Amino acid sequence: MELKAIFLISIFILSFQYYVKAENNVYVDVIVVFKEKVDEKIILKYEGKIEYIYQIIPGVSAQIPLKYLSDLQNEPSIKYVEINQAIKIQQEIQWNMYRIGAPTAWVIGGTTGNHLIQVAVLDTGIDGAHEDLSVNVVWCYVATDEILPSPCFDNNGHGTHVAGIIGALLNNIGVAGVAPSIALYNIKVCTGGGSCFIDDIVEGIDQAVRGPDGIIDRDGDGQVAGDPDDDAADVTNMSFGGFGPFPAMHDAVIAAFHYGLIQVAAAGNSGEAGVTEPGSYPEVIAMGATDINDNVASFSSRGPELDFAAPGVNILSTLPANQYGSLSGTSMASPHGAGAVALIEAARLLHGLGFLNFNDTYNVLAETADDILDPGWDRYSGYGIIRVDKAIQLALIPTQRSTVVVSYPTVTYTEYTVANTTKTFTYTNLTTYLLTNYSYQTNTITKTTTVVQRFFTIAYEKAALMDYMTLLSFALLGIILGVGLGILIRRVI
């Protein structure tokens, strides 16, 4: 018989899980990541028990006798051994407000979502029998070790609440989600007590990439999100967080990012203590929380990793057993972001446009967000409150080939004299599309360069902010030789 003991070390992080057997051997839950490929024999060599073999990173979750832990860590083929920990779901209790323009977005995009776009909800589970969710919950997977009364049972309520914000049905019952016709993958990685152990989270991300058929990248093209040949999730929501480091979780997030999944997470309920993992990762969109008056919630984590804000105070949504209730936290803000991304992708699919990757999606959201504090990005609200209606309007602009004439003044650069100097270049728009002037900043001078006045024509693709950066790069590379350029666009990977 095994006894599991969990030791709390903070509101976000739980300490190690130990398994004590009758013969007084102490076992510890670990994540073992190999440098190249998994070697199960090494785990067995140290009397370990493998619980799960990850496919998106070369690692396993396992139970290892504590007495062999240091020996295992010193194995030359092993990259690292991480003690399994738990991080907490981001939850406080109160208010709901429809602030992000979802109803208008349904009209602009011509859709409330469809089941060809899947959002994986990594959480405490979802009540798949709920009257406002049952149609949209199409698959479930349990990563936790709990004994449940039924498959994928939500024994906490947090996951069902999060799922309702993303995809509660538009059926004149209860509430409606941001994308009421989207498909939901119910991936249970958090326990009924609200603890989310790292090995279960990694397993959940692994399953989101694999999808119901269990196969990663069926057609071998390196992309699973937005690929009709694969049933992987297109978007993931992770309404939990903790202060790490958690290298296995980050490795899994990076792997999912490279497969094309757009990952959204709660920024954390830690205020000035900073954005928690996984929201702090550059491959993840971190969502902070605001209230009905557009004030940033006092608990909402601040910091340089914060990306956007959304309602997160007193949000009314679904709860198990056909119930409804209000909760507060960045856990409630995050699914607004995930639902918005899913709705954007569904609208593009309906209009015959391709799947927007992480960078393009990020830039569409950044261009269309409502500033509530300083213009542009700030550490309290990111780029502001997301506006899915404006985002869809921008995302549905078809790619156009346009001609732009760029002109610039005569400028003489002397070595070391113009570092961090801003020069503004203008261009003439020959199309009917509205373009915006940008200022370009030079950061590094490598030699004295004289720029004479001249004109040239380049091809310009009208779409989102990335195209403006393309214009900037081509224009300046053609103009200034020997001048290094710094583009102050945040979190473009």
* 253-281 tens-digit pLDDT: 999 999 999 999 999 999 999 999 999 99
13 contacts 276 by C-beta, under 8 angstroms: no
How far is the C-alpha of 354 from the C-alpha of 227, rounded, in Å? 10
CA-wise closest residue to 342 among 187, 112, 117, 159: 117
How far is the C-alpha of 326 from the C-alpha of 332, rounded, in Å? 10
347 contacts 114 by C-beta, under 8 angstroms: no
Higher pLDDT, 338 or 473: 338
Tokens 């959201």 locate to 365
161: amino acid identity, one letter:
H
* 4-31 tens-digit pLDDT: 333 222 222 223 333 333 334 689 999 9
How far is the C-alpha of 66 from the C-alpha of 61, rounded, in Å? 15
- Model confidence at 3: pLDDT above 70: no
> pLDDT at position 218, please?
87
Which residues have CB under 8 Å from 143's CB, separation 6+? 52, 187, 188, 189, 200, 201, 203, 204, 207
> pLDDT at position 74, please?
95
Tokens 């589970």 locate to 125
How far is the C-alpha of 195 from the C-alpha of 86, rounded, in Å? 5
CA-wise closest residue to 312 among 296, 333, 341, 283: 333
330 contacts 301 by C-beta, under 8 angstroms: yes
* 354-375 tens-digit pLDDT: 999 999 999 999 999 999 998 9
- Residues forming the active site: 123, 158, 331
* 377-395 tens-digit pLDDT: 999 999 999 999 999 999 9
* 47-79 tens-digit pLDDT: 999 999 999 999 999 999 999 999 999 999 999
Question: What pTM did the predictor assign?
Answer: 0.76
Higher pLDDT, 171 or 403: 171
How far is the C-alpha of 280 from the C-alpha of 260, rounded, in Å? 18
Terminal-to-terminal C-alpha distance of the chain: 48
Instruction: List, in order of start, the domains of the chain with CATH numbers.
Output: 3-84 (3.30.70.80), 88-395 (3.40.50.200), 400-486 (no CATH)
CB atoms within 10 A of CB 449: 17
* 92-148 tens-digit pLDDT: 444 554 689 998 898 889 999 999 999 999 999 999 999 999 999 999 999 998 888
**Three-class SS string for the chain?**
CCEEEEEECCCCEEEEEEEECCCCCEEEEEEEEECCCCCHHHHHHCCCEEEEECCCCCEEEEEEEHHHHHHHHCCCCEEEEEECCEEEECCECCCCCCCCCHHHHHHHHCCCCCCCCEEEEEECCCCCCCCCCCCCEEEEEECCCCCCCCCCCCCCCHHHHHHHHHHCCCCCCCCCCCCCCCEEEEEECECCCCEEEHHHHHHHHHHHHHCCCCCCCCCCCCCCCCCCCCCCCCEEEECEEECCCCHHHHHHHHHHHHCCCEEEEECCCCHHHCCCECCCCCCEEEEEEECCCCCECCCCCCCCCCCEEEECCCEEEEECCCEEEEEECHHHHHHHHHHHHHHHHHHHHHCCCCCCCHHHHHHHHHHHCECCCCCCCECCCECCECCHHHHHHHHCCCCEEEEEEEECCCEEECCCCCCCCEEECEEEECCCCCCCCCEEEEEEECCCEEECCCEEEEEEEECCHHHHHHHHHHHHHHHCCCEEEECCCCCCC
- Mean pLDDT across the stretch 325-348? 96
How far is the C-alpha of 123 from the C-alpha of 131, rounded, in Å? 19
Torsions phi, psi of 435, nearest 5? -115, 165
* 137-180 tens-digit pLDDT: 999 999 998 888 888 899 999 999 999 999 999 888 889 999 99
CA-wise closest residue to 320 among 116, 470, 111, 174: 174
Total residue count of the chain as it appears in this document: 493
Torsions phi, psi of 94, nearest 5? 145, 170
